Amino acid sequence: MLTLYQAEWCPFSSAVREVLTELGVDFVTRQVEPWPEERRELQALAGTDQIPVLQAEDGRLYRGTREIFAHLRELEPWQFAAEHRRRFTDHRDARESDTQGQLVEYFRASETFEDVVGHPAEAAVVDVPEASRSELRASAKGPLLVSGGVRVVAADGTVLYEGEKAALCRCGGSANKPFCDGTHKTIDFEG
């Protein structure tokens, strides 16, 4: 049976799973560690720490969606391929409205996340309880503008800012991350 090294949150892995569904191919999923540098088993097997990786029944390895799709194109789709594709399209609204994410949050109930150390560009801005909705707007060649009530919290739990709106650095050049300090104007940031 095919083995797919993947993670649920990875959109490339998700795309491969959809194609395997449309092909009617059974497969085993192997979960990988969240960060590439932690994936020693995958690195030893496939010589890469990137996902997805597909291992065929004959042991051959296909790394990344480009290689995997090229291999899967050689297979004959099964009789239900078109119907599965249609249902994939039918469920686009649910995917775009993040039904999966809401269900996962519901499952987790009161569980709290550990602090995560990451780059400001990876930061997620969430509603504070007393606000109904926040808006994130990317300004042209400038920061990410957040309005509607925002609390910016550092990895160690320190509240860096709390207020109605904030400008977060998108260019990566700010000396006051995660906030914009205007550096984007001096480096001709295009984004």
Report in angstroms how near the CB of residue 174 gets to ligand FES at its nearest. 4
CA distances from 30 to 19, 57, 181 (A): 17, 15, 43
What are 150's strand-pairing partners?
163
Tokens representing residue 113 in the block = 């996340």
What is the signed CA dihedral for 109, 110, 115, 118, rounded to 10 degrees?
30
Is residue 78 left, alpha or beta, with left meaning phi > 0 and alpha meaning psi from -120 to 50? beta
142 Cβ contact partners less than 8 Å away, ≥ 6 residues apart? 167, 170, 171, 180, 184, 185, 189
What is the signed CA dihedral for 80, 81, 87, 88, rounded to 10 degrees?
150
Instruction: Return the beta strands (E) in 84-143 as ranges.
Output: 135-138
Q: Which of the residues 140 through 159 are near ligand FES (CB under 6 A)?
A: 142-143
Q: Which stretch binds ligand FES (CB under 6 A): 66-74, 96-104, 129-137, 177-185?
A: 177-185
Site string for ligand FES, 21-40 (x = CB under 6 A): --------------------
Report in angstroms how near the CB of residue 116 gets to ligand FES at its nearest. 21
Report in angstroms how near the CB of residue 188 gets to ligand FES at its nearest. 12
Report in angstroms how near the CB of residue 4 gets to ligand FES at its nearest. 38
Site string for ligand FES, 95-134 (x = CB under 6 A): ----------------------------------------
Q: Which of the residues 156 through 175 are near ligand FES (CB under 6 A)?
A: 169-171, 173-174
180 binds ligand FES (CB under 6 A): yes
Report in angstroms how near the CB of residue 135 gets to ligand FES at its nearest. 17
Residues found near ligand FES in the complex (CB under 6 A)? 142-143, 169-171, 173-174, 180-184
